[in-house]
Structure 1
Amino acid sequence: MNGPEIHLEFAPDLALFVQRKLRRTLTTDGASSLGHVVESAGVPLTEAGSLWVDGREVPTSYVPVADDHIEVRAVERPQRVPGAPLRFLLDVHLGTLARRLRLLGVDTAYESTDIGDPALAALSAAEQRVMLSRDRGLLRRRELWAGAYVYSTRPEEQLRDVLDRFAPELRPWSRCTACNGLLKSATKEEVSDRLEGGTQRSYDVFAQCGECGRAYWKGAHHEQLEAIVREALRTRTG
């Protein structure tokens, strides 16, 4: 490639994508957009914040010229997603994160089977949901409504990162962790056909999903779930 030579500097938060080489000089073809150059360097545009050339901000469509000094900043937090209520879509590998977001009352769609990147991207666009994934190829698809890379493999760290990055409104205990439907209070009689004998004898307060009908009560795992909720609320107010 014999095009113009440009100089790139990436924010430290992007070190994962550029193999920790935060400064580099590249030769471009003289026609590709800066967005294409950034992605070619390994950074999904979902993770790139503002782009600056010699001290002025430019769009991803800007075509670099010789000796440009380009600064690729990280996404500002909290990140605002304009034009739609904040909703998420998670791929097949993020089931635990999906359930925890739903536990906190965050509108979270989740595909429990691998429907493929094109279908996920189309669903993100159709429902205007932020795609959360560790698949960099998926996050590069142009038809995505919006997207974000999930940096950690540990669910508790994933949750903290999503809450810090997007600051969604939290309404704990308001959504079904199985299907994302909204919960409503229910009597024991209304959910009796979904309860085992021991549960019927031991509990009196129930909720039920308006979509799938699943029943909820403060069972054996409630303390563990309560700890997740407390930590999320503490982090938000802290």
Structure 2
Amino acid sequence: MNPPEIHVEVASELALFVPHARRTGAHPLAVDGVSTLGHVVESLGVPLTEVGTLVVDGREVPVAHIPADGERVTVRPVARPQQVPGAPLRFLLDVHLGTLARRLRLLGVDTAYESTDIGDPALAARSAAEQRVMLSRDRGLLRRRELWAGAYIYSTRPEDQLRDVLDRFRPALDPWTRCTACNGLLREATKDEVADQLEHGTHRSYDVFAQCTACGRAYWKGAHHQQLEAIVEDALSMRAQEN
């Protein structure tokens, strides 16, 4: 007797996760009558963090649905902007996304970042404990059930990564309010308060400073300010277009 078989069609936005032969149209797939549809979709390579709705024969079903012989399944991507229930929107990034972490912090987005590889279990546990959205290019990490929430980072280019996160989650932006090194909040500071961190030229040339309330790092409009300003302006322009 032949095993039960379903036909699965994956949305084009999710095509990169599945084998090339399955990237267009509906394709037959044998099922065991026991595994959930969520498990079946993950077995194709699609992280459930990237799945918006699962449609079976024209009706939406949960990931716990047990597919039956002959069903036709459509896997749709997450709708944008994505709503994350519960806590205020906060992120956690793995060791490979340091530049993205600094740019999100530059925009005032609460962004935790692990600068060393602490392992998938520890990252997933922190995501759950602090109710942070896990951002990663590691599909295995995004499959961990204990995650609070997660999202795959599709690009390897920091500028594209940032725009994708801003488009997908629409976090509130408050530029120049967070430390790009540790995520702490900034406060205005006098030159005397940060004098021990200033070289002679900086001490002579600048008068406006901020300091991190967590790690004490000093900030001023130095040589890289124009580059940072461009990142902020691009993000704010993008937000204005969304509204």
TM-score above 0.5: yes
- Say yes or no: does 1:151 pair with 2:158: no
SS of residue matched to 1:16: helix
Q: 2:219 maps to what in 1?
A: 216
TM-score normalised to structure 1 length = 0.98
How far the C-alpha of 1:4 sits from its partner, in A, is: 1.2
Residues 103, 176 of structure 1: 8 Å contact kept: yes
CA distance in 2, matches of 1:146, 1:233: 25
SS of residue matched to 1:83: coil
Q: 1:17 maps to what in 2?
A: 17
Residues 2, 29 of structure 1: 8 Å contact kept: no
In the TM superposition, what whole-angstrom CA distance separates every residue of 1:132-170 from its partner, at most 9, and x where no partner exists? 000000000001000000000000000000000000000
| Identical-residue share of aligned pairs (%) | 76
Residue type at the aligned position of 2:84: V
- Say yes or no: does 1:126 pair with 2:136: no
CA distance in 2, matches of 1:176, 1:2: 60
Q: 2:113 maps to what in 1?
A: 110
Residues 91, 132 of structure 1: 8 Å contact kept: yes
In the TM superposition, what whole-angstrom CA distance separates every residue of 1:13-37 from its partner, at most 9, and x where no partner exists? 0010013423321001110000000
CA distance in 1, matches of 2:19, 2:167: 24
CA distance in 2, matches of 1:19, 1:110: 31
CA distance in 2, matches of 1:88, 1:166: 10
Say which of 169, 172, 177 aligns to 2:175: 172
How far the C-alpha of 1:84 sits from its partner, in A, is: 0.9
Residue type at the aligned position of 1:27: A
In the TM superposition, what whole-angstrom CA distance separates every residue of 1:10-61 from its partner, at most 9, and x where no partner exists? 1110010013423321001110000000000110000111111111111000
SS of residue matched to 2:17: coil
In the TM superposition, what whole-angstrom CA distance separates every residue of 1:53-72 from its partner, at most 9, and x where no partner exists? 11111100000001011111
Gaps in structure 1 of 5+ consecutive residues: none
TM-score normalised to structure 2 length = 0.96
Alignment of 1:52-63 (within 5 A): 52-63=55-66
Aligned length: 238
SS of residue matched to 2:73: strand
CA distance in 2, matches of 1:41, 1:6: 13
Say which of 81, 84, 87 aligns to 2:84: 81
How far the C-alpha of 1:2 sits from its partner, in A, is: 5.0
RMSD over aligned Cα atoms:
1.0
